[in-house]
Structure 1
Amino acid sequence: MNRLEYAHEVWRQNEGYAIPETCQVFQDNFDSGIIYYNCNKYKNNENYIQLELDQDCFLVTMKIDNSCHGFPFDTAIEACVKYNNLMMNCLRSWHKKCREKFLMTIDTQPRRIYLDDIRNPQTEGFTVLRSYQEFVDFTLMFGCPEYISFDHDLGNDLPSGHDCLQWLIERDLRLQIQKQKFIPDNFEINVHSANPVGKENIEKLWISYKNFKINS
């Protein structure tokens, strides 16, 4: 296994977090090279954090926007602690920027959602959401709209459109305890999913909840 193959295997096994033992093994087998690397592109800037072996010391380098900083350490433990702290802080910062960018692009007028990870609506007048998390973020910030067109499958091993509707219902139930409501009285759904079983499950869930509200 060469230096690049080893570094890639280390990153994959530890989900990107630096482990002192693997740095020591790298140092025992190679003279220098990047061991850990985490990159994020925002606008036109490529931001990154990396931990490398530079001859006899471990060097943590961080580039954010146009600023670059390097931190040399004698031991792998110190370098890993620094790298992991920087990575966690930057991931939070990058996530916040991405979320702010998403929220700034949301058109709150009209109050209709088209939930689909790939497709776009055939007509105008929809806010397009691509995932469960976007769906939750939008409805928490702007409330439940009057109309939602659901896709069922939102990606492999990811929460589905059924999960999104279930989340709406559970939030509405919690607010009912406080004599409030989250889902408006004139709320309507459509299910445009190509998955027939998923489509049926979403429709059954909504019909069941509507009947529950009528009879409660």
Structure 2
Amino acid sequence: MSYNLFLDDSRNPRDVKWVELPLVAWTVVRNYREFVETIQRDGVPRIVSFDHDLADEHYKEFARATDPKTIDKQIKYETLTEKTGYDCAKWLANFCVDKGIPIPLYYLHSLNGIGCANIHSILESARKVMNEGTSGNPTGGSTGERQDDVG
């Protein structure tokens, strides 16, 4: 089944005006669980568009951060209950590497710039692992584990 996956806790694809998303039909998922279940059921999508902060607790922590230059150090995502778009990207990267499936085309529509950079980094690391034919996974952990440092 060929489909396109849009990950966001509140927005729909038509709400995103700051990134030029393709005009395609989207399957919308709102959280990590729905993201994983959809891919396990339907396979890797053709396109994925990622939001980073997927729960109110993420926004509250982001709002509490005081220095924009070190915001990634101020928010302790590992202490939060809900997983982020970065966790989804890590899961997808490991899933694709484990199965030998190419990383799909992806867009980053999150307004969290650091979150976007981290998602981009993990997916490109997975592409590099796959292109070089090296073994292992791009996050250094098993699918679904949280890793704060992205290589």
Please tell me the TM-score bracket, short chain as reference.
0.5 to 0.7
Q: Is the 8 A contact 1:149 1:192 kept in 2?
A: yes
RMSD: 1.7
Once the two structures are superposed, residues 107-128 of structure 1 have per-residue CA deviations (whole angstroms, 9 ceiling, x without a partner) of x6x6101100010002551011
Which structure 2 residues correspond to residues 157-168 of structure 1 after superposition, within 5 A? 157=80, 158-168=82-92
Which structure 2 residues correspond to residues 81-100 of structure 1 after superposition, within 5 A? none
Deviation at 1:171?
2.0
Change (3 A) 1:196 1:142: same
> SS where residue 13 of structure 2 aligns?
coil
1:150 paired residue among 29, 33, 50: 50
Q: Name the CA distance, whole Å, in 2 between partners of 1:128 and 1:144.
A: 14
> SS where residue 190 of structure 1 aligns?
strand
Amino acid at match of 1:164: C
Q: Is the 8 A contact 1:116 1:129 kept in 2?
A: yes
Give the alignment's TM-score, normalised by structure 2: 0.61
Q: Is the 8 A contact 1:146 1:186 kept in 2?
A: no
> SS where residue 5 of structure 2 aligns?
strand
Higher relative contact order (CA 8 A, sep 6+): 2
Once the two structures are superposed, residues 145-186 of structure 1 have per-residue CA deviations (whole angstroms, 9 ceiling, x without a partner) of 0100000011123101111111112223333xxxxx3x3x47
Q: Is the 8 A contact 1:113 1:129 kept in 2?
A: yes
Q: Which runs of 5+ in 2 are unaligned?
A: 15-22, 58-79, 134-151
Match of 1:174 in 2: 98
Structure 1 runs (4+) deviating above 6 angstroms are none
Once the two structures are superposed, residues 40-92 of structure 1 have per-residue CA deviations (whole angstroms, 9 ceiling, x without a partner) of xxxxxxxxxxxxxxxxxxxxxxxxxxxxxxxxxxxxxxxxxxxxxxxxxxxxx
- Counting aligned pairs with the same residue, the percent is 34
Q: How many matched pairs?
A: 101
Instruction: Determine which structure has more spread, i.e. the larger CA radius of gyration.
Output: 1
The structure with the greater share of residues assigned to strand is 1
Give the alignment's TM-score, normalised by structure 1: 0.44
